[in-house]
Amino acid sequence: MATLANHLTGRDSDISSNSESVLLASGAGNSLFRVHASILGDKSLAFQDMFAASQGTKLEQVDGSTDDKPICVPLQVSESAFELFLSVCYNKPDVLKICNKAVIQLLKLSDMYLCKDAGIKERLDVHCWIIACEAPPMVHVGTCTRQKSYKDDWKQLWWNGIGRFLLDGRNPQPYKDAIECFKKLDIREINLDCWKAVLYIVKACSAFNHQRKLITCTADDLVNYLFVKPNFEDFGCLVH
């Protein structure tokens, strides 16, 4: 049996005596892995729901509790990809051993087990696609006499500029850099005052408030996970 958690966390103690340990079986490699239920639950919404199903009931958790009743991983998942998945759950992936095939299977596993990190990255990507494709409303000054034509020109300019910069397959630009490039484009026949008014809104970066909020929340969760506050009350009990 591979007690992967000890290797990944650097702990010498065997977690087989830990009440929160669970067994996972790799169908492709016929191997057993003993890992921490709390870590899997923290990284994967699917595992979190699985472990929580028996809580609050009189039923004992069966799957993953013994060698003959492990939680089984689909047969099509290779053992190396499954080990990579577990190493990512423990925040210690061995990047030197990662092949392209294993990365593809890792993405499939992350999707299947509803991994939070994969979900956050996907939400950020989808948000970026929306920003690239949907231009903010055109702002018209009081002297503007061609609102309809300027509106159409603006949408085309946004897609050819911001859309191309954000979604460039070889060199995608962050929003601030994309805006700097966007400012240098030929605005064609758009009224200069209208252009300045809408550019003022675009430069405020309000379109990415959602992204900043999501990144901040994710960073806060990571800090809470990595840094444990000392319990000074327990420390005081040792002093006589």
The Cα 202–Cα 88 span in angstroms is 37
Predicted local distance difference test score (pLDDT) of residue 6 = 44
| Mean per-residue pLDDT, 217-228 | 62
- The domain locations on the chain are 4-114, 123-213
- What is the dotted CATH code of the domain comprising 4-114? 3.30.710.10
For residue 164, pLDDT beyond 60: yes
Most confident segment among 69-83, 97-111, 172-186: 172-186
Give the largest CA-CA distance in the chain. 84
The Cα 213–Cα 209 span in angstroms is 6
pLDDT in tens, 126-161: 778 888 888 888 888 887 888 888 888 888 888 888
Q: What is the mean pLDDT of the chain?
A: 70
> Is residue 211 very low, low, confident or very high in pLDDT (cuts 50, 70, 90)?
low
Residues 202, 204, 210, 214, Cα dihedral to 10° = 130
Q: Which residue has the tokens 């958690």?
A: 5
Nearest to 65 by CA among 77, 76, 79, 51: 51
Predicted local distance difference test score (pLDDT) of residue 71 = 73
User: Between 195 and 119, where is the model more confident?
Assistant: 195
The Cα 151–Cα 194 span in angstroms is 10
What is the distance of C-alpha 236 from the center of its chain? 40
> Is residue 13 very low, low, confident or very high in pLDDT (cuts 50, 70, 90)?
very low
pLDDT in tens, 30-63: 677 777 777 777 777 777 777 777 666 666 655 6
Bridge partners for 22 per DSSP: 35
For residue 116, pLDDT beyond 80: no
> Is residue 109 very low, low, confident or very high in pLDDT (cuts 50, 70, 90)?
low
Helices (H) and strands (E) in the chain, counts: 12, 3
The Cα 162–Cα 19 span in angstroms is 53
Record the tokens describing residue 150, joined without a space: 């300027």
CB contact set of 176 (below 8 Å; sequence gap of 6+): 205
Give the CB-side neighbour count of residue 98, counting CA atoms within 13 A. Answer: 15
Predicted local distance difference test score (pLDDT) of residue 235 = 43
